[in-house]
Amino acid sequence: MKFLTQFLSLALLTGCVVMTSCSSNKETAEQKPGIEKTVYGQLPNGQTADLYKLHNAAGMTAQITNYGGIIVGLTAPDRNGKFEDVTLGMDSLAGYVKGTPYFGALVGRYGNRIAKGKFTLDGKTYTLAVNNMVNHLHGGLVGFDKVLWNATPVEGDEPALKLTYTSKDGEEGYPGNLSVEVTYTLQKDNALRIDYLATTDKPTVVNLTNHTYFNLTGGAKRDVLDHVLTLNSGNLVPVDNTLIPTGKLMPVAGTPFDFTQPTPIGKRINDSTDTQIKYGLGYDHAWVLDGTGDSLKLAATVFEPTSGRVMEVRTTEPAVQFYTGNFLDGTVTGREGFPYKKRYALCLETEHYPDSPNQPNFPSTVLRPGQTYKSSTVYQFSTRKE
């Protein structure tokens, strides 16, 4: 009897029901931060790609495959605490292999464009693949988004996935064996942090980024034109009609590129009187971030009024390419067969300026033996009432 009384009072104290599963404990178990690995599928060359599901104590999840380091899914709560996916993505590995416009992918060696696929370094000219009109884009034909990375899960309060890849001397035309390490960390405070490191054995150029397409409505319910954007930038990197920088910077004041104050993305996106808008078919430009130094600085804030979701982007990079999915046309069908249409997402690709290898006045993207390329970006989610 004494035994039973003690047992019952213990059960009451912990809120458990005798002989059935304890719901509060179950919730605690589900909320325990961690990382699970499953087989994602087979690549055409027979290699196996894995899927890693990171989850934090707050309930946020990030699903990442070691094929292309792709973020396959990322959930964030709305103002009522409902978790939904805030990215565009595919249902299966086959979907990614078939081809997407870099959904969720790691991009390298050079995120963005290099004019005519050529650059000269230490007097030697290198020729890269031309895969975007007359230019080189996002690392070439088989960029870092299409290779299998080695993956190491790192358990902890803030679960992480460390990905490594060695890009061979001459791969896609770039000089030097480049050792790359990218770590995704799902932080306690509903932030996904990406840390990039690289070293080389010959002088080369590096500009790594991630190409996630965000739609904060959750489940990509509609286009992103009502998302409200703030960019910490007073200057744009204007481009020519092939989206290669002119070499000058352009103050954003008084133009459709001024996001220094919170502004709906759709407000000026179709301003056909603006040459830069015409060239980009909307927004597809690099903004120079204000502030200097190697520490993380606020680059962008995005607010989606109906869900209340807010995303803040912090980076150590000097620029951010803001792209509004202008080339999406509904031909790529994503999760659950959903056609991703024009402007159904936005990308905030933190990086150095486009075509820096050919622009002596831009911050340098050259990496030499003995140096370590370091870059970090944090995408943090929260909510606001209005």
For residue 179, give Cα distances in angstroms to 69, 199, 202.
15, 5, 11
At closest approach, how far in Å is the CB of 327 from ligand GLA? 5
**Cα dist from 353 to 44, 139, 273, 284, whole Å:** 34, 15, 25, 12
Note whether 101 binds ligand GLA by CB under 6 A. Answer: yes
| Window of 30-38, 79-87, 257-265, 319-327 that interacts with ligand GLA by CB under 6 A | 319-327
In Å, what is the CA distance from 80 to each residue of 163, 309, 382, 384? 34, 10, 11, 10
Residue 335 Cβ, how far from ligand GLA at the closest point, in Å? 18
Among candidate residues 172, 304, 317, 349, the one labeled active-site is: 349
Q: Say if residue 301 carries a ligand binding annotation.
A: no
- Residue choice 233, 321, 324, 376 for contact with ligand GLA (CB under 6 A): 321
Residues 213-272 that bind ligand GLA (CB under 6 A): 243
Specify the residue for token string 């009522």.
80
* Alpha-carbon span 115 to 301, nearest angstrom: 30
Annotated binding residue at 113? yes
Say whether 112 counts as a known binding-site residue. yes
Instruction: Rule CB under 6 A: say whether 99 interacts with ligand GLA.
Output: no
Question: Looking at 55, 136, 138, 211, which residue is catalytic?
Answer: 211
Residues in region 329-348 near ligand GLA by CB under 6 A:
347
Minimum CB distance to ligand GLA smaller for 232 or for 321: 321
Question: Which H or E run contains 7?
Answer: helix 2-14
323 counts as binding ligand GLA under rule CB under 6 A: yes
User: Is residue 78 annotated as involved in ligand binding?
Assistant: no
Q: Minimal distance in Å, beta carbon 284 to ligand GLA?
A: 5
Q: Is 55 a catalytic residue?
A: no
Pick between residue 128 and residue 160 the one whose CB is nearest to ligand GLA.
Answer: 128
Q: Judged by CB under 6 A, which of 52, 96, 102, 344 binds ligand GLA?
A: 102
Closest by CA to 129, choosing from 117, 114, 142, 138, is: 117
β-pair type (297-303, 284-288):
unpaired
Please indicate if the annotation marks 309 as binding a ligand: no
Identified binder of ligand GLA from the candidate list 25, 327, 339, 363, rule CB under 6 A: 327
Considering only the stretches 32-40, 63-71, 245-253, 321-329, report the one whose residues sit in contact with ligand GLA under the rule CB under 6 A. Answer: 321-329
Contacts to ligand GLA from residues 150-189, by CB under 6 A:
none
Among 284, 304, 317, 355, indicate the residue that binds ligand GLA (CB under 6 A). Answer: 284
Rounded distance between C-alpha atoms, residue 138 and residue 133, angstroms: 13
Q: How far is CA 209 from CA 31, 260, 374, in A?
A: 30, 23, 11
Determine if residue 211 is labeled as part of a ligand binding site.
yes
What is the spatial distance between Cα 95 and Cα 91, in angstroms, rounded to a whole number?
A: 7
Query: What is the dihedral angle through the alpha carbons of 374, 86, 100, 200, rounded to the nearest 10 degrees?
Result: 10
Pair 223, 343: CB distance under 8 Å = yes
- Does 349 participate in catalysis according to the annotation? yes
Contact 41, 47 (CB under 8 A): no
- Is residue 278 part of the contact set for ligand GLA (CB under 6 A)? no
Q: Tokens 């001459």 correspond to what residue?
A: 170
Q: Give every CB contact of residue 319 below 8 A, 6+ residues apart in sequence.
A: 237, 286, 287, 288, 289, 350, 351, 352, 353
List the catalytic residues: 211, 349
User: Residue positions in the annotated binding site for beta-D-galactose?
Assistant: 112-113, 211-213, 284
Q: Which residues are near ligand GLA by CB under 6 A?
A: 101-102, 137, 243, 284, 321, 323, 327, 347, 349
User: Residue positions in the annotated binding site?
Assistant: 112-113, 211-213, 284
